[in-house]
Structure formats: C-alpha cells, structure tokens
Amino acid sequence: MKQLDEPLEQVLARLKTSRLPSVALGGLFARNATAHKWKATFRSLLLREAIFWRLQDLLEQSFALHQQRHTLGARILLRSSVETLSMLIYLNQLTQNVTNGTLNFHTFSHKTATLLFGSRNEFTPHTSLNINTILAKCAKRYDFIEKLYADLSECAHPNYEGLIMGYSEPDSENRIENFSNRWAYLYFDTHEHGMRLVIHIFEHEYNVVWEREFKKLEGWLVANERELAATKCDPR
C-alpha cells in the first residue's frame, strides 16, 4: 500500500495531478472502432474520470477540514467519498458481469446511462440508483465497505451520535449534561486512516480493475458483434 509511506498531503497532490483534463470519443474509435461503436464504453470512460474528479475534490476538502480540526465536516465528506468510490467498484463489477455472461450487454448499457445521468430531482429522465443498493453489491468485493459507510453515516444525521454523543458529555454524579464540540476528540486520530483506505481501494479499482475489465469488454464486443447488432433492441 504505497500511501502508507507517503505523507497524505503528497498522496492527495499526486491524485490531483493525475486526473485527465479531457476524454475524446475519437480516441476510443482509434483504439478499436468495432468495440467503441457502442455508447456504453464511452459512458464507462466518462464515469471513471468523473468519479476520479469528484473523489479527489471530496478528499482534498475533507483533509483541509481535518487539518483545522473540523472533524464533523471532514467525516461527512469522507462519507461522500465512500459513496463515490462505490460507483467505480459497481461499474467494474457490471463490466465483469458482461464478459462472464451473467449480464446482458444492452442491460449493461442502460445501467451505464443510469449511473452517468441518474438524478432524484427529475433533472434528467433517469432515476439514480439507491446508494445502499450499490454498496451492497460492492460488499461482495470489499466486505467492510458497508460498515465503513454506516459508521460515517451516523455522524451525518441528527441521531444519537450526530447530536448527544457529538456535542455533549454527561456528568452522572451531578446530573448535568455538559455541552462541547467533541468530534475531534472522538475521531481526529482515525480520520487519516479512513482517507488512506478509500484512496488505496480507489487506485486499485481505477488503475488495475477498470483497465483489465475494459480491455476484456473490448475483446468481448468484437467477438460478439453480430449477435449484439441483432439484439440491440432486446429489452432484457
């Protein structure tokens, strides 16, 4: 895990300089015109890079708040980072399912459109997937990810942890509840570990898993070109 040897500032700076400034459909056609006549592959590439941009932005802001000991905000942004990471993991799982024969390609294409254009405010015609549904799928690869997300979610809501635990401490002997901001006391020392874990998984999914599965998908699309053309209106 490379990040364990790097200061977190350097890890985040490396991520920031690694983002692609643009992606071009023409580049995919030049790479493999047969495979990339389908919209799903370009959508997959767009998803991958947009996820990278959002994740880097969230982590940078989370770290800035962490350095100022604004731990509640830092944890809420880390929670959003886990949500964003789960999108990439799920995309890679869907791609693998196509090439291993457990997911119809046209269904995959529709899912990439939903992941890329989904919304809950009817801004687009696609309804976004529930994040808990995506996390449940991701848990098949990373069994701890649902618990990590659930733990971070506790601070994001005005429930026990988000209110009483985060802002008060009882003096049982005198029957007094003393209020203070306790978030840094509770979680400051563990926040960077959570960030490094998210970055580690992201780099593996981005650099290794997506590349591997995307290449497999390209080969699969070429091998199944005729069948796909004949079934492109298949509603499955």
Cα–Cα distance measured from residue 164 to residue 137, given in angstroms and rounded to the nearest whole number: 33
In the chain the beta strands, taken as DSSP E runs, fall at: 168-171, 176-179
Query: Taking residues 52-60, what's their average pLDDT?
Result: 98
Cα–Cα distance measured from residue 215 to residue 220, given in angstroms and rounded to the nearest whole number: 9
User: Does pLDDT of 56 surpass 60?
Assistant: yes
The pLDDT of residue 38: 95
Query: Which one-letter amino acid corresponds to residue 76?
Result: I
118 membership: H or E segment, kind and range: none
Query: Taking residues 92-96, what's their average pLDDT?
Result: 98
pTM value is: 0.93
Digit-coded pLDDT (tens) for 155-169: 999 999 999 999 999
In the chain, what are the domain boundaries? 37-230
DSSP state of 235: -
Digit-coded pLDDT (tens) for 183-193: 999 999 999 99
Tally helices (H) and strands (E) across the chain.
11, 2
Taking only Cα atoms into account, the Rg of the chain, rounded to an integer number of angstroms, comes to 21
Please report where in the chains the tokens 């780099």 appear, as a residue: 203
Where does the pLDDT of residue 4 fall: very low under 50, low under 70, confident under 90, or very high at 90 and above? low
